[in-house]
Structures are given as structure tokens and as C-alpha cells.
Structure 1
Amino acid sequence: MEPALSQLAKLTAAETHRLDRVIVAISVNPELGTPVPDTLLRDYVDDVDEVRVLYYVTALRQITTVAYVEA
């Protein structure tokens, strides 16, 4: 968890806002992303906010994410 916190601290306010918008969209509709073959992962790219998120939804409908915010 510590590496994630240090990465979040490096994001600008604008990057954080872009990422938040995408995470909200996924939380409303976890099926937005494209399934990654042979894994439980889904891959979602938001071309407007220029954010890519790899995530999976657990059996309890919790969402775990790994995000990439483009410059």
C-alpha cells in the first residue's frame, strides 16, 4: 500500500481529478472495461481524460484498480 500512496502523492490536482472521474465511472458500471484474456482483469481506457485503468471486480463486488494517467 505504501508504494501506491507515494505514487498518489506525486499526482497533480488535475491528474487526480481525471483519475477520480474514471474510477467513479467504473464503480457505477464495473463492466466498462474490456476483459483481458486468460485473467480476471478488465482494461478500461478513457480517451477523453487520457487515463487507463486495469482492474478486477471481486466476488463481493469490490473493485481493485491499477491506473495510468497519461501526461
Structure 2
Amino acid sequence: MSPEHGTRCSRVIMVEPAFTQLAKLTASETHRLDRGIIAISVNSELGTEVPGTLLRGYADEVDGVRVIFFVSALGSITIVAFVEA
């Protein structure tokens, strides 16, 4: 990667179950969750694979958040299926 280009982040999209959970979070919980979503947008290999699916699960024990997501074939889009804070 050339010096003038930074790390490429994926575009993050939330599906309905994630939006429903997001609506129930406090401002503090949403702020903590934002850090987790940024982390997976920068590195889509974070977390662990959910066996038998294309999903990955990312949990940040420090911030107390969990995100279930999958990444498009080219890695340019991260689709968030579930959030918890």
C-alpha cells in the first residue's frame, strides 16, 4: 500500500434486527458500540466464525459489546445482523 493511501474501511450497513436492538440502547451504550463497529469496518477478520454460517461474531469484553456480522465477497461492505451492548 502506498504511503498516501490509508487503511481501507468497509461500508457498514445494518439490517432490521440490528436497528431494533440499536433503538433500545442508551447514548453511552451506542457510543461503546460505535467503537466496535469501527473496529470491524477496519478489520473484517476480527472475531470468530459462527460455525455453519457466513457470519462472524465480534465481542469486545472491555466495552461490553457484541456484534454479529458478515462481509461481502470483496470485503467492501460489512452487514451487521445483530448488536448488543
TM-score, normalising length from structure 1? 0.82
**More displaced 10-residue stretch of structure 1: 15-24 or 51-60:** 51-60
Q: Which is richer in helix?
A: 1
Pair 1:64-2:64 in alignment: no
- Once the two structures are superposed, residues 41-60 of structure 1 have per-residue CA deviations (whole angstroms, 9 ceiling, x without a partner) of 00111000101111100124
- Identity, in percent, stands at 62
Q: How far did residue 4 of structure 1 move?
A: 4.8
- Once the two structures are superposed, residues 22-44 of structure 1 have per-residue CA deviations (whole angstroms, 9 ceiling, x without a partner) of 00000010000101111100011
With over 3 angstroms needed to count, the CA separation of the structure-2 counterparts of 1:12 and 1:3, relative to structure 1, is same
Pair 1:12-2:23 in alignment: no
Q: Computing the radius of gyration over CA atoms, which structure comes out larger, 1 or 2?
A: 2
Give the match for residue 55 of structure 1: 69
Helix, strand or coil at the partner of 1:23? helix
- Per chain length, whose mean CA-contact separation is higher, i.e. which structure has more relative contact order (CA < 8 Å, sep 6+)? 2
RMSD: 1.8
Question: Aligned partners of 2:52 and 2:19: how far apart in 1?
Answer: 29
Question: Aligned partners of 1:4 and 1:37: how far apart in 2?
Answer: 20
With over 3 angstroms needed to count, the CA separation of the structure-2 counterparts of 1:43 and 1:5, relative to structure 1, is closer
Structure 1: gaps of 5 or more residues? none
Question: Aligned partners of 2:73 and 2:30: how far apart in 1?
Answer: 27
The number of residue pairs the alignment matches comes to 69
